[in-house]
Structure 1
């Protein structure tokens, strides 16, 4: 009889332990705000994505939340650390980006539409570039590729290749496409060009590819200028930079577009199918920005 009672007690204790463990897990999952210290890990403060993230905090009434400024590299480092430990994290994200291939991630639903619709990346050149460097102008006007093609270059860089090496390899492997960009264009050997870009992985990839084509196929001497978004647009408008292939429109860089309108030429999209928003690992039990108020 004593053995039976002892067994029942042990079973009861085991059941309590299981229930308590489950309760802790549910409680833990249901307290995302405190687990991430009510922080959204952002990128450089000049990015339009950061402005939209700040607007999301306001529009969704996330009074206790803070948007942490930093850089693309710092954001992905924080994501990598949290992901490996299976800990919760909320970041500002965009597509195309290599992190969506490396990690299982999801965008939080944005029912208020703060982050806008899918965007395009445009090529913008300074006024009079067509007259001063006609071959470069035409090549830039023809330049267009896909998110999948961009991802090849980004992934190679993340895997350890230098950006210029990854770009050169892509240009070599996609000779037919590249030939279409430079078909019947005259060489302009040693003529100098300046390409401005922001230090996003996507723009590092695209700018290095364009640089490789301009130098290898058309003979230009290209200087790359890594700056933040504001100086990038200012450089195009005052002529201190010749071109960018990094203009996210119609949302991310719309303020700069409007501010400097008339002082540049928009050659149209070089890539379609981008997306912006707040991003979390798929193992997190949250699906919408609205839920941050209660979690």
Structure 2
């Protein structure tokens, strides 16, 4: 009889423990969504507040009813630093991410599914110039109009910079290694004679890469090129008021949508220089969540 009672007690304890252990897991083997939130202090690490991706991330918080979550403003550099620190320790983190970007090559990351479409469709990067540039600097205008490359091209430059090269040296190395491609951009363009050009860019790794490359190409053609790093608002304002000649970092139709509307008719869009960018909330692959819905 004592053996029977003891067996029943062991069975009961085993059943309770199994039930408790299963209640904290999802089908993916991770803690509940509440635990995911707690593990990152309900924070999404963002970049500069003027960026369109921040507007989209705020929209996602509304769309998915993530009332407990906070979108942390900062910069591209601060975001990647936070990601690197967490990744090296295999800690959870959620950041605003976009491709092309070197972090997707260096780390095993994934962009969370966005079934509600808060981040929109894929975007393209456009070349935007001030009104009158074609008349004032015809040769430079032609080069900017013919500038076009791929995410892989951009990725080469970004990785060199991330690995320690300064942007000028990384751009020079890429230009030397891709002479045929550069020849397509400069086809039919004669040498300049020291005319001044001012290109603006935001401090995103992708735009640092593209602007330094096109700046190097124009410098090699004989232009006196100045590169100015500014926030997105001043960048578009500078193009509109003519204090900047051009930028090759117009993310459309979503990221820079507000600036396009604000300065409509005060700039010229030369079209796409890179196709197929993606915006979204990004996590390390070791986090077993796949969708923004998993954060609810």
Q: TM-score, normalised by structure 2?
A: 0.90
Correspondences of 1:110-125 after superposition (within 5 Å): 110-125=114-129
Correspondences of 1:34-183 after superposition (within 5 Å): 34-183=38-187
Instruction: Say which of 239, 264, 269 aligns to 1:266.
Output: 269
State the Cα deviation string for residues 123-179 of structure 1 (Å, max 9, x = none). Answer: 000000001000000000000000001000000000100100000000000000101
Instruction: Say which of 226, 236, 254 aligns to 2:239.
Output: 236
In the alignment, is the contact (CA less than 8 A) between 1:29 and 1:284 conserved in 2?
no
Partner of 1:5: none
In the alignment, is the contact (CA less than 8 A) between 1:93 and 1:277 conserved in 2?
yes
State the Cα deviation string for residues 75-103 of structure 1 (Å, max 9, x = none). Answer: 01111111111111100000000000011
State the Cα deviation string for residues 30-73 of structure 1 (Å, max 9, x = none). Answer: 21001100000000111010011011111111100000000001
1:28 CA drift (Å): 6.5
Q: For the residues of structure 1 that align with 2:97 and 2:262, how far apart are their CA atoms? A: 25
**SS at 2:44's partner residue?**
strand
**SS at 1:207's partner residue?**
helix
In the alignment, is the contact (CA less than 8 A) between 2:30 and 2:288 conserved in 1?
no
Q: For the residues of structure 1 that align with 2:159 and 2:17, how far apart are their CA atoms? A: 45
Q: For the residues of structure 1 that align with 2:123 and 2:149, how far apart are their CA atoms? A: 15
Instruction: Say which of 31, 53, 63 aligns to 1:29.
Output: 31
Partner of 2:288: 285
Aligned residues: 283
Q: For the residues of structure 2 that align with 1:277 and 1:189, how far apart are their CA atoms? A: 44
**SS at 2:140's partner residue?**
helix
In the alignment, is the contact (CA less than 8 A) between 1:123 and 1:244 conserved in 2?
yes
Q: For the residues of structure 1 that align with 2:25 and 2:170, how far apart are their CA atoms? A: 44
Superposed CA RMSD: 2.3
Partner of 1:250: 253
In the alignment, is the contact (CA less than 8 A) between 2:109 and 2:284 conserved in 1?
yes
Q: For the residues of structure 1 that align with 2:87 and 2:157, how far apart are their CA atoms? A: 23
Partner of 2:210: 206
State the Cα deviation string for residues 239-261 of structure 1 (Å, max 9, x = none). Answer: 00000000000110011011101
1:24 CA drift (Å): 7.0
Instruction: Say which of 190, 196, 200 aligns to 2:200.
Output: 196
**SS at 2:66's partner residue?**
coil
Q: For the residues of structure 2 that align with 1:210 and 1:54, how far apart are their CA atoms? A: 33
Q: For the residues of structure 2 that align with 1:127 and 1:89, how far apart are their CA atoms? A: 43
Q: For the residues of structure 2 that align with 1:22 and 1:219, how far apart are their CA atoms? A: 69
Structure 2 unaligned runs (5+)? 1-12
